[in-house]
Structure 1
Amino acid sequence: MGIRYSKIENKNKREIVLLKGLPCKYGKCKFCNYIEDNSTNLEEIDRVNKVTLEEVTGEFGALEIINSGSVFELPESTLERIREVVKKKKIKLIYFEIYYGYKNRLDEIKDFFKGVDIRFRMGMETFDDEFRINSYGKNFKLTKIDLEDLSDKLYSICLLICVKGQTKEMIQNDIELGLKYFKSITINIFINNGTEVERDEELVKWFVDKYAYLQEDLRVELLIDNKDLGVFEQ
Structure 2
Amino acid sequence: MKALILLFVLCFFDGLMLRAEEASPDKPPVQSIADIPKGYEVGEKSLSPNGRFAILYPIRGDDSAELPPNLLVCLKPYSVLTRIGTEGGRWQGARDQPLAKWNGNSIVAIWIAARWGMKDLAIYEIEADKIKRIQPVWRRVWLLFDQDFRERFLSKYPDEKGSGVIFVSKSEGPDSKPELEFKGHKMLLNLFADNKPNLSVTPHWTASLHAVWNLDTAELENVDFRPGPIELRPNY
Q: Into which bin does the TM-score normalised by the smaller protein fall?
A: under 0.3
Higher helix residue share? 1
| TM-score (norm. length: structure 1) | 0.25
Q: Work out which structure has the larger RCO, using CA pairs closer than 8 Å and 6 or more positions apart in sequence.
A: 1
Return the TM-score normalized by structure 2. Answer: 0.24
| Greater Cα radius of gyration, structure 1 or 2 | 2
User: Which has the larger share of strand?
Assistant: 2
